[in-house]
Amino acid sequence: MKKDNQDKGDGVMRLKGKVAIVTGAGSGLGKTIAQKLAAEGAKVALADISMENAQKAAEEIQKTGGEAAAFLADITSEEQIQKMFAEVEREFGGIDLLYNNAGVSPVGTVETTTYQDFQKVLAIDLYSVFLGCKHVIPYLRKRGGGVIINTAGTFGIKPIPNKVGYSCAKAGVISLTRSVAIDMAKDNIRCNAICPGFVDTPLNKDFVGEERENFLKTYQPMDLKVQADDIANMAVFLACEEARAVTGQPVVVDGGTEACLYY
């Protein structure tokens, strides 16, 4: 028997009938966000550089009664992004929400990071967000407005050592988010960024053990591990009508880390 979509507890699915795209949705944070949006009634397009991962994640949503489809896209390719948006519109009839989530989190200082590596992290973490915002706007405008959410990061607000490429890229995402929000408000398009701290996802697999525990004890006042669900819950709020007056904001979800950083 097919299960009904979950809801927030009062029988109302806040995103029912909306079409959402999540990039990097084949695993980790993107997958969790896609699942949460689907549980709130959205039709979800899961875009990923791995079609196999995207397909598996879409099938998991379908098994719970959600509507989802997988799409192949290298988000650093303008051509592939444009193609993916067109395919989503053909599949679902339009686009209401884009979540630019795909990214990398390399380590390195300005001395140890090569120019090629710096270019790579900017291409994945910043330029791809620009391309997503730029090319989704016509689709949102056709629907009378819509929502863009970008994954930024706590360290885009306050950098930490050994994260020069990531911190620069995420700072750029925050500024881009504000610019899009200002420029597109007239079209009823909202744009916000979510700034996660250290979340238990594959992206942070290298930051584990004693190093992680020491950092969290020093810089995260809340005694908890920020989970992908915490980010996904914020994404649902920013996507729905309850956040209709929220735009241009870097929303921090990090257990208080940003408030404690003094670098």
User: Which regions of the chain does DSSP assign to beta strands (E)?
Assistant: 19-23, 43-48, 67-72, 97-100, 146-151, 189-196, 250-253
Question: Domain spanning 19-260 has what CATH number?
Answer: 3.40.50.720
Please pick, among 99, 127, 139, 166, the residue that the annotation labels catalytic: 166
Encoded tokens for 71: 């799409």
Rounded Cα distance between 71 and 136, Å, is 15
Query: From the CA atom positions of the chain, what is the Rg in Å?
Result: 18
From residue 160, alpha-carbon distances to 105, 143, 145 in Å are 13, 40, 37
Quick one: CA dihedral 200, 202, 205, 209, positive or negative? positive
Place of tokens 């519109």: 89
Residue 39 belongs to what H/E stretch? helix 28-39
Domain coordinates in residue numbering, the chain: 19-260
pLDDT of residue 263: 55
166 tagged catalytic: yes
Question: Tens-digit pLDDT profile for the chain (263 aa)?
Answer: 334 444 545 567 999 999 999 999 999 999 999 999 999 999 999 999 999 999 999 999 999 999 999 999 999 999 999 999 999 999 999 999 999 999 998 999 999 999 999 999 999 999 999 999 999 999 999 999 999 999 999 989 988 889 999 999 999 999 999 999 999 999 999 999 999 987 766 555 555 566 667 776 677 767 778 889 999 999 999 999 999 999 999 999 987 787 777 65
